[in-house]
Structure 1
Amino acid sequence: MAVVPQTARPEGRSSSSFWTVARRDSLAGLLFIAPQLIGITLFVLIPLCLVFWYSLHEWNVLANTFTYTGATNYQMLLEDPSLPSVLGATAVFSAGLVIFNLSLALLLAVLLNQKLAGITIFRTLFFSPVVVSLVAWTIVWGFLLQKNGGINGVLLVFGIEGPNWLREPVTAMISVIVVQVFKNVGLNMILFLAALQGVPNELYEAARIDGAPRFKQFRRITLPLISPTILLTSIITIVGSLQVFAQIAVLTQGGPGLTTTVLVYYLYQQAFQFHFFGYGSTLSIMLFAIVVVLTFAQWQMRKRIVFYES
């Protein structure tokens, strides 16, 4: 009777059996997202942890001291007499920017959505301020808004004596809002324009057959279908309004008084002008908390105000 020889079994697994297709795909995915993860860790997560750590200390750069103070900076935050005015200015600026920016952007998008000759030129014209340097844009507006600037010169032609726009409380806030609106309205306009072009024409045709007027078509068809874009632009605009700095620094330096001193500029003053780095870190923690709360609130509201086709 013949004996069939048995082949010897390998004692260990071969390397090829370890690198399966699934593991190779997972490794490729990790390599693709690794730069983003490293960037977020180095420039977002670690700085956030350090800012919280600094808020528990008082860091005197001139004396080269770093003293643990616990919750002292947070106690100062509650007792700061200037903070209510700063938060009020921040709320006014953010509300004014969001209302005028979104309203003007939607109006321009509706007008530029018409199929007319040369409409591309106007789209480019309204979008061009977005790509202009922020500081250069603000400096030019600073000259225009002076007492003897270009805007008052135009008003004087019509017999109107214009105010000192940047040195009076009401006009100073209006001025910085208008400058910021004109700077970024083109971005939201493009987003709204893309959303409007995605609305099916068949819905408008059916509404016209039923005798619905234009305003009712806009309210019942256009707004619901572009509501996801409205949510997106509102979140972007609100977060951006809470981060404004260059316009305030160049135009008003927070004045007159604390009229245009928004939270980011007040943070800059405390940390880099008065060298209260611990208190400045505490203000930045509060700013981060405000942004998170507002973003979360808007995201929760999407179920009520946003229409999804699916």
Structure 2
Amino acid sequence: MITTISRVDAPATTPPPRDRFWTTRRRDELTGWLFIAPQLAGTVVFVLVPLLLVGWYSLHEWNVLADSFTFVGAQNYRALAQDPKIGGVLRASALFSAGLVVVNLSLALLLAVLLNQRLRGTTVFRVLFFSPVVVSLVAWTIVWRFMLQNNGGINDLLAAVGVTGPNWLRSGGTAMAAVIVVQTFKNVGLNMVLFLAALQGVPRELYEAARTDGASAWTVFRRITLPLISPTVLLTSIITVVGSLQVFAQIAVLTEGGPGTSTTVLVYYLYQQAFQFHAFGYGATLSMLLFAIVLALTVLQWRMRRRWVFHES
């Protein structure tokens, strides 16, 4: 008997699947890039490219009237180090920034605490304090210039009660204070709203527990309120510091840097050098100095947040 052995074919081996390029992960990554593309393009076009151009211009002597653009290397930076006015300009900038930050944040926090009470009419006061934020900056400053003149509305009110007011914008002792007050009233509403939102996020149970334990109002504010709103304090301080170093219209309209150079802050001095004296190269150098100061202060505040911002230690 002949036995027939059937040959069984081995199963065909399927080739390993080829990696697809258009995977789910890559589609998600592309979606994310598409969402941030407008902001990224705006940052590149309106921040990074101008910053590089300003750095390039600071290495040149650019005279628009003479139509000359000459490479001078670090000459503008040496001129900056030897500028006899730069010390006074930096002191005025520091004084304005320090005064604005202290007065603005303190007043904004005080208003937010008061308007956070559950009382009738608080909505009206919120609108009143926030309305200057949406008013045109130049219009706001022009109105205050007329009010602060020697024969303006402020001195007329003081004269009505027998007080002789100073020439606020032409006296070295009051000009800087007047500019700080005008800028504070203009933007205090924005910080007030940010503080108010933070205060409304503090759990009421913590206040009730503190009152049950007999804590005073100051202890409650210092131990509960202030730590819990410290992230908002960090945000408002950074915004206010950066904004104070970029002030220009208020100085130009109110004092034009005077009397003398007592209110000539860095941005206004930059404007004078670039657009009044047509020293665009030196103006670009001052711009780089301003950028370095803003960057250093922002990084310093961000690094110090671990010491006092809640949940950051």
Q: Which residue in 1 is equivalent to 2:261?
A: 258
Superposition deviation, residue 128 in structure 1: 0.4
The answer as to 2:173 corresponding to 1:174 is no
Q: Which runs of 4+ in 1 moved over 2 A?
A: 1-9
Q: Which residue in 1 is equivalent to 2:32?
A: 29
Task: Provide the TM-score with structure 2 as the length reference.
Answer: 0.93
Q: 1:8 to 1:235 in 2, by over 3 A?
A: closer
Q: Which residue in 2 is equivalent to 1:187?
A: 190
Superposition deviation, residue 4 in structure 1: 9.9
CA distance in 2 between partners of 1:309 and 1:76 (Å): 42
> Which residues of 2 match residues 279-294 of structure 1 at below 5 A?
279-294=282-297
Q: Give the unaligned 5+ runs of structure 1.
A: none
CA distance in 2 between partners of 1:237 and 1:88 (Å): 18
Q: Which residue in 2 is equivalent to 1:276?
A: 279
Q: 1:119 to 1:6 in 2, by over 3 A?
A: same
SS at match of 1:255: coil
Superposition deviation, residue 32 in structure 1: 1.5
CA distance in 2 between partners of 1:2 and 1:113 (Å): 86
Q: Which residue in 1 is equivalent to 2:92?
A: 89
CA distance in 2 between partners of 1:18 and 1:238 (Å): 48
SS at match of 2:304: helix
SS at match of 2:70: strand
Could you give the per-residue CA deviations for residues 25-50 of structure 1, whole angstroms, max 9, x where no partner exists? 21121111111111111111111111
CA distance in 1 between partners of 2:70 and 2:107 (Å): 50
Contact 2:305–2:312 (8 Å) recurs in 1 = no
> Which residues of 2 match residues 186-265 of structure 1 at below 5 A?
186-265=189-268
Letter paired with 1:44: V
Could you give the per-residue CA deviations for residues 228-282 of structure 1, whole angstroms, max 9, x where no partner exists? 1111111110000000000001111100110000000000100111011111111
Q: Which residue in 2 is equivalent to 1:143?
A: 146
Q: Which residue in 1 is equivalent to 2:4?
A: none
Superposition deviation, residue 19 in structure 1: 1.8
CA distance in 1 between partners of 2:39 and 2:119 (Å): 43
Q: Which residue in 1 is equivalent to 2:162?
A: 159
Could you give the per-residue CA deviations for residues 102-124 of structure 1, whole angstroms, max 9, x where no partner exists? 00000000000000112111111
Q: 1:247 to 1:3 in 2, by over 3 A?
A: same
Q: Which residue in 1 is equivalent to 2:62?
A: 59
CA RMSD of aligned residues (A): 2.0
CA distance in 1 between partners of 2:12 and 2:219 (Å): 84
Could you give the per-residue CA deviations for residues 114-163 of structure 1, whole angstroms, max 9, x where no partner exists? 00112111111100000111111001101111111111111111011111
SS at match of 1:170: coil
SS at match of 1:199: coil
Q: 1:167 to 1:19 in 2, by over 3 A?
A: same
CA distance in 2 between partners of 1:307 and 1:23 (Å): 37
Superposition deviation, residue 21 in structure 1: 1.7
SS at match of 1:216: helix
Letter paired with 1:214: A
Letter paired with 1:115: R
Superposition deviation, residue 8 in structure 1: 11
SS at match of 1:169: coil
CA distance in 1 between partners of 2:157 and 2:305 (Å): 44
The answer as to 2:83 corresponding to 1:80 is yes
